[in-house]
């Protein structure tokens, strides 16, 4: 890593690609672009470490765990950092089937940022510049003007998070900035005259941070770290832990908590009109919960450590922009938090987002070539979503620079692909977060087969690193093991088969079967079953590979069926429609018309994707659109 001071005053520095912002999107973008040997800069606001976690101290989660593993298989950074900074590991949806199982890791946020700094520092062709950007001029290439000097660059990746015209709210107190203690960046209008932001702003919030020592943990439900959860990075030993493991705790709100919030409605910036930005329905503040669900007063509050040495806990589920004294009061109404002290008060932040339908699938801006956008500025929420986009923007900027084909992940094969297509094909009216429900191919897009899914894409980078060697070996062994399963027949009379039969309550194995068939028997756990078959055959194979093969075999039939459904859907979805006619029709509700007019769908598929479109509307359109 170079330091800017090494260069003399007056000379204008040139970078192949410049990333504005050093958050989760920024470091992924810079990291992958640097692997192509280009000269990369990260310009980030002074005072914030790279890869910092201003909100929840965790990485992964339902759908998001899959994204982290996809990134990892593509050669991303997030999985490595999360493993190193991980202080509590958990598998969500553990009992609900392999397809929806997701890893979530609580991170020590200081450690995470330190690891990110250290990792980036080892990459010689990345320069980290800690200055505030004032202006970016797009001419032949770009000129970036900061508070200190100017830089020239061929390509710019904007990963500016919530800092565009950011405004913080805590009760009636307001401050300008992208997060607490930091200044805001200039608005996009100052930086790029040509780029429109969305006409309305987005809003997100964060809960108050509690003093670790003031919580009565004996009254909370403890959730220890699960040692059977596998690390994110495919080349880390699966169960190795880099840091000391700690617990999370579950608390619950009660009637008193909700009454305190309800009686302070006029003091809430979100409900008294002070905040006009749109928040996400799926990530409601405690005020949202209080007013939207008046009949419910018990809500989960996960009390999560922010770090091993940090003295704060993050109470997930009670984000708020209420005045400080109200925050203190409702926190203390929760069992176990009676004497909890707030170290940092919760706040809401409003910020500008761009219209992502102006972006290509590479995340390059359609009107301004060589300019890319990734992360929260695109209206998404979550570190993982940001990192996923950062990777796509970074890889594509680098590959475009080198004249290579673009990297476009299919939505049928990855959650990142789902996200990018959703973002670029549709204007959202609330922050976008990944859910497994957004995928049409959930049985295939799993954590256990991320290498399988991403390897063909990684191969197009034409890189030759240890990761590529690792994946090549993995794929070779995968195919061998698949072949073993398909070709090895086991007679029903073998002791192992009799054991398997004995484990089924009603079902039995009554004939000779291939290993593949055995793995599909509903009552057998495919992983342990394959392990036992391999053991009997004297084969020793890595547990990661066994897992991938066993689960793949289990779901094979379903996946094939869903593929044919998908084909049929795709045909229907590609049907052209006229949004003008639909909007003019008498048979459609006013609300639907508004959404249709705003989004202007061209095909039935796009119409279906619009949130809040009623089935009745779809029926009317489907029946008419011939």
Partner 1 sequence: MKFLYSDEPIIACSTCNHANAALAVIRISGFTSLAQFSPYFSHTGPIEPRRVYYTKLVLQGQFIDDICITYFEGPKSYNGENILELTIHGNTLNTERVLKLFINHAGCRLASPGEFTYRALKNKKLTLSQVEGLDLFLNANTGYALDQGLSLLSGNLQQIYTDLYDLFLKHKSALELSIDFIDDVGEETAKGYFTSTLKDFKDKFETLERRVIPMDHNLIQPEIVIAGLPNSGKSSLFNFLLRDERAIVSSIAGTTRDYLSEILSIENVRYKLIDTAGIRDASDVIEAEGIRRTKQKMQHAFFSVLLINPLEMREEFSELMQLKFDFMIFTHADGIGFEAAKNQLLQQYPQLGSIGAVSLKSQPEVLEQQLVDLINNKYLSLTFNKPILLDRHKLLINDVSLALKQYENLSSYEHDVAILSHELNTLATCLSELIGIVSPDQILNSIFSNFCIGK
Contact status, residue 384 vs residue 78, Cβ threshold 8 Å? yes
The CA angle 453-457-459, to the nearest 5 degrees, is 115
User: Which residue's CB is nearer to partner 1, number 25 or number 99?
Assistant: 99
DSSP 499-520: HHHHH-SS----S-EEHHHHHT
Q: Does 586 bind partner 1 (CB under 8 A)?
A: no
Selected binder of partner 1 within 85, 87, 100, 215 (CB under 8 A): 100
Judged by CB under 8 A, the stretch of 182-190, 405-413, 421-429, 434-442 that binds partner 1 is: 434-442
> Least distance (Å) from partner 1 to the CB of residue 626?
5
Q: Does 2 bind partner 1 (CB under 8 A)?
A: no
Q: What is the C-alpha separation between 517 and 320, in angstroms, rounded?
A: 53
Contact status, residue 604 vs residue 622, Cβ threshold 8 Å? yes
What does R_g of the chain's alpha carbons equal in angstroms? 26
Q: Does 300 bind partner 1 (CB under 8 A)?
A: yes
Selected binder of partner 1 within 463, 575, 583, 609 (CB under 8 A): 575
Helix extents (H) in 488-578: 495-503, 515-519, 526-536, 543-573
Selected binder of partner 1 within 410, 460, 537, 565 (CB under 8 A): 565
Q: Does 403 bind partner 1 (CB under 8 A)?
A: no
| Phi, psi angles (nearest 5°) of residue 516 | -55, -45
Q: Does 478 bind partner 1 (CB under 8 A)?
A: no
DSSP state of 278: B
Selected binder of partner 1 within 317, 336, 379, 601 (CB under 8 A): 317
Q: Does 96 bind partner 1 (CB under 8 A)?
A: yes
Q: How far apart are the first and last CA of the chain?
A: 60
Q: Does 63 bind partner 1 (CB under 8 A)?
A: yes
Q: Does 4 bind partner 1 (CB under 8 A)?
A: no
Selected binder of partner 1 within 410, 537, 542, 587 (CB under 8 A): 587
User: Which residue's CB is nearer to partner 1, number 138 or number 577?
Assistant: 577
Judged by CB under 8 A, the stretch of 13-21, 297-305, 321-329, 398-406 that binds partner 1 is: 297-305
Size of the site for partner 1 (CB under 8 A): 43
Q: Does 95 bind partner 1 (CB under 8 A)?
A: yes
Q: Does 583 bind partner 1 (CB under 8 A)?
A: no
Q: Does 258 bind partner 1 (CB under 8 A)?
A: no
Q: Does 622 bind partner 1 (CB under 8 A)?
A: yes
User: Which residue's CB is nearer to partner 1, number 196 or number 300?
Assistant: 300
| Phi, psi angles (nearest 5°) of residue 158 | -90, 110
Q: How far is CA 553 from CA 147, 241, 530, in A?
A: 57, 30, 10
Q: Of 519-538, which residues contact partner 1 (CB under 8 A)?
A: 522
> Least distance (Å) from partner 1 to the CB of residue 524?
13
Q: Does 65 bind partner 1 (CB under 8 A)?
A: no
Selected binder of partner 1 within 558, 567, 598, 600 (CB under 8 A): 558
Selected binder of partner 1 within 2, 4, 49, 97 (CB under 8 A): 97
Q: Does 437 bind partner 1 (CB under 8 A)?
A: yes
Contact status, residue 341 vs residue 164, Cβ threshold 8 Å? no
Q: What is the C-alpha separation between 423 and 418, in angstroms, rounded?
A: 9
Helix extents (H) in 336-462: 383-401, 415-425, 450-459
Torsion from C-alpha of 39, 45, 51, 53, nearest 10 degrees: -170
Q: Does 442 bind partner 1 (CB under 8 A)?
A: yes
Helix extents (H) in 56-202: 64-74, 78-85, 109-121, 188-191
User: Which residue's CB is nearer to partner 1, number 541 or number 572?
Assistant: 572
Q: How far is CA 108 from CA 22, 53, 84, 190, in A?
A: 18, 9, 9, 36
Selected binder of partner 1 within 562, 588, 606, 613 (CB under 8 A): 562
User: Which residue's CB is nearer to partner 1, number 112 or number 604?
Assistant: 604
Q: Does 92 bind partner 1 (CB under 8 A)?
A: yes
Q: Does 98 bind partner 1 (CB under 8 A)?
A: yes
Q: What is the C-alpha separation between 258 and 166, in angstroms, rounded?
A: 29
Q: Does 620 bind partner 1 (CB under 8 A)?
A: yes
Question: In 131-201, which ranges are E strands?
Answer: 133-138, 142-146, 150-158, 167-170, 173-176
| Residue/partner pairs of 135-138 with CB below 8 Å, 24 or more apart | 135/186, 135/190, 135/191, 136/20, 136/191, 136/192, 138/192, 138/194, 138/368, 138/371
Judged by CB under 8 A, the stretch of 87-95, 235-243, 345-353, 448-456 that binds partner 1 is: 87-95
> In residues, how long is the chain?
626
Which residues bind to partner 1, rule: CB under 8 A? 61-63, 92-93, 95-100, 282, 299-300, 302, 317, 435-437, 442-443, 522, 558, 561-562, 565, 568, 571-572, 575, 581, 585, 587, 614-616, 618-620, 622-624, 626
């Amino acid at each position: 890593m170079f330091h800017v001071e090494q260069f003399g005053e007056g000379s204008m520095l040139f970078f192949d690609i410049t990333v504005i912002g050093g958050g989760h999107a920024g470091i992924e973008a810079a990291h992958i672009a640097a692997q192509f040997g280009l000269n990369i800069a990260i310009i980030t606001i002074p005072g914030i470490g790279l890869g910092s976690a201003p909100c929840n101290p965790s990485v992964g989660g339902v759908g998001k765990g899959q994204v982290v593993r996809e990134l990892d298989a593509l050669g991303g950074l997030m999985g490595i950092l999360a493993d190193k900074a991980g202080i509590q590991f958990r598998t969500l949806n553990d009992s609900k089937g392999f397809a929806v199982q997701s890893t979530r890791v609580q991170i020590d946020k200081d450690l995470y940022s330190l690891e990110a700094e250290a990792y980036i520092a080892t990459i010689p062709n990345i320069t980290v510049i800690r200055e505030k950007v004032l202006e970016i001029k797009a001419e032949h290439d770009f000129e970036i003007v900061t508070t200190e000097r100017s830089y020239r660059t061929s390509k710019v990746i904007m990963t500016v998070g919530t800092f565009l015209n950011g405004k913080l709210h805590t009760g009636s107190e307001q401050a300008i900035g992208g997060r607490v203690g930091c200044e805001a960046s200039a608005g996009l209008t100052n930086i790029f005259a040509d780029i429109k932001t969305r006409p309305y702003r987005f809003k997100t919030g964060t809960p108050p941070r509690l003093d670790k020592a003031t919580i009565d943990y004996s009254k909370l439900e403890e959730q220890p770290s699960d040692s059977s959860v596998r690390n994110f990075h495919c080349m880390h030993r699966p169960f190795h832990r880099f840091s000391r493991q700690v617990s999370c705790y579950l608390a619950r709100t009660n009637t008193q908590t909700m009454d305190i919030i309800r009686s302070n409605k006029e003091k809430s910036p979100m409900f008294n009109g002070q905040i006009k930005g749109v928040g996400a329905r799926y990530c409601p503040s405690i005020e949202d919960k209080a007013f939207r669900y008046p009949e419910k007063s018990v809500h989960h509050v996960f009390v999560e450590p922010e770090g091993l040495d940090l003295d704060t806990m993050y109470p997930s589920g009670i984000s708020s922009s209420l005045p400080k004294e109200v925050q203190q009061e409702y926190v203390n109404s929760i069992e176990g938090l009676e004497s909890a002290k707030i170290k940092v008060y919760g706040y809401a932040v409003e910020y500008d987002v761009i219209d992502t339908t102006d972006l290509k699938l590479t995340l390059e801006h359609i009107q301004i070539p060589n300019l890319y956008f990734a992360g929260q500025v695109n209206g998404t929420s979550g570190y993982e979503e940001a990192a996923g986009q950062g990777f796509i923007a970074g890889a594509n900027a680098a590959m475009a620079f080198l004249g290579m084909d673009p990297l476009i992940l299919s939505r049928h094969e990855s959650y990142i692909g789902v996200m990018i297509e959703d973002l670029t094909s549709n204007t959202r009216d609330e922050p976008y977060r990944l859910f497994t429900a957004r995928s049409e191919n959930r049985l295939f897009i799993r954590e256990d087969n991320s290498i399988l899914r991403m390897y063909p894409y990684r191969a197009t980078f034409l890189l030759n690193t240890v990761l590529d060697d690792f994946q090549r070996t993995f794929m070779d062994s995968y195919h061998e093991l698949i072949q073993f399963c398909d070709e090895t027949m086991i007679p029903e009379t073998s002791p192992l088969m009799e054991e398997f039969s004995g484990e089924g309550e009603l079902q039995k194995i009554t004939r000779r079967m291939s290993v593949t068939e055995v793995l599909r028997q509903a009552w057998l756990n495919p992983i342990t079953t394959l392990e036992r078959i391999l053991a009997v055959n004297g084969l020793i194979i890595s547990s990661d590979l066994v897992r991938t093969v066993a689960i793949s075999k289990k779901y094979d039939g379903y996946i094939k069926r869903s593929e044919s459904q998908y084909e049929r859907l795709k045909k229907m979805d590609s049907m052209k429609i006229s949004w003008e006619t639909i909007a003019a029709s008498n048979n459609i509700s006013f609300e639907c018309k508004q959404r249709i007019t705003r989004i202007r769908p061209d095909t039935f598929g796009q119409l279906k994707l619009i949130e809040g479109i009623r089935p009745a509307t779809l029926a009317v359109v489907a029946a008419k659109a011939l």
